[in-house]
Structure 1
Amino acid sequence: MSANSIITLISKNDVEVQATLQAVKQSVTFRTMLELLDEEQTYNIPIPVPEVDGETLGKLMQWCEYHREDVSTPDEPNVATDRTKAAEIPQWDQTFLQVERVLLFKLILAANYLEIPRLLDYGIIMVARGLEGLSAEEMREYLNVPNDFTPEEELAKRENNKWGYIG
C-alpha cells in the first residue's frame, strides 16, 4: 500500500472521511493500529472513530493532510510546555485553528484521543492565548465552566488568595 492510498474513517455519527495513508499516520493511534494489524491486510476496511463526530474528524484530517510530510519523533519537545516554542506556531496552523471555540475544543479532544501531539499542543496554546488577560468570570465563560461557589464562598476564596487573584 502506498503513502497516497486512500483510507476511509467512519465518525461516531457515521460520516465517512477519506484521507491518504500518510495523513492518517499523523495519528500515533492509527499508525500503531495499522502496524499491528498489517496495513496490507486491512486495506479497504473503514476505520471506526467512535469518539469523534464527522465535522471534527473532517477538520482534523484536513490538518493531517496539510502536515502529512511532517515527520515527528518521539523525543520531540512538547510545544505547549516549551516556552521557547510556544510562540512559534506556524501561520498556517494559527489560521487553521481560528475556528469557533466549540470546534477548537473538539479538535483538542480528538487530537488527544488520536494522539496527534503537535495539533494537540497548537490547540492548547490557542486556548491559552484566548484566556490571556481575562478575569476569572470571563475565563469561566470562555471555558463554559459554571461558577458553583456561593457569593460567600467566592468572597472567602478571594480573601484567602489575594496574592493570586486576577479579576
Structure 2
Amino acid sequence: PHYRSQPLEYLTYLVSYGGERSLRRVLSDSLGLASSLQVMADENGAGTNFYMLFRLTPLGHEHPHMVMHTVFAYLAMARRVGVDQQLYSTLADAMRLQWDWAQPSGPSDTVQSFAERMPKVPREHLLLAARIDAQNASAVLSLLEMLRPDNMNAILVSPNAEQNSTFREQAREL
C-alpha cells in the first residue's frame, strides 16, 4: 500500500542514523551503554517487523533498562517532532540516484527482487518500487506509533543467564 512512499525506509534511516544527537551517538558517546546499533526491517504479507540490535557495553549489560528507556524516549521525541520533509526528500533523491546508477542485477537477483515485491506492488510498478516517489508523513507516523514498549519483544543475550529473567520483568514495566 505504501510502496511509493517507503515509510519504512524513512524510519530505518531515522533510527540507524549515526550523526550528532542520534540514538546511536547518545547510547554510545553520551551514555556509554552500547557500542553499536544495527537496524533491520522486514515487510511481508504477514506484517512488518522492525529490529534494533544493540551491542551492549559492560555498563549496558548492567543496566539494560536504561537502553530501553533511551530508545523509547528517542522514539517519543521523533513522534513529537514529526516527519522532516527535507530529510524525506533527501532520502528520495538518494534512492533515485541508487536506482538510476545501479549496476544491472543478475537474473536470479532480479527474479528474487520481483518475487518479494509482487505481493505488495501492482505489476506495472514493479520496476519503480525500490525508490520513494511520494512522501507520506502519516504512514511514517503510523509506523512510529507502533514502536512502543507494549508492542515489542525484547531479548537480552548475556553470559549471565540470571539477568535475562530480570530484564524481561524490567522490559514489561516500560
TM range (shorter): under 0.3
TM-score by length of 1: 0.23
Larger Rg: 1
Structure of greater relative contact order (alpha carbons < 8 Å, 6+ residues apart): 2
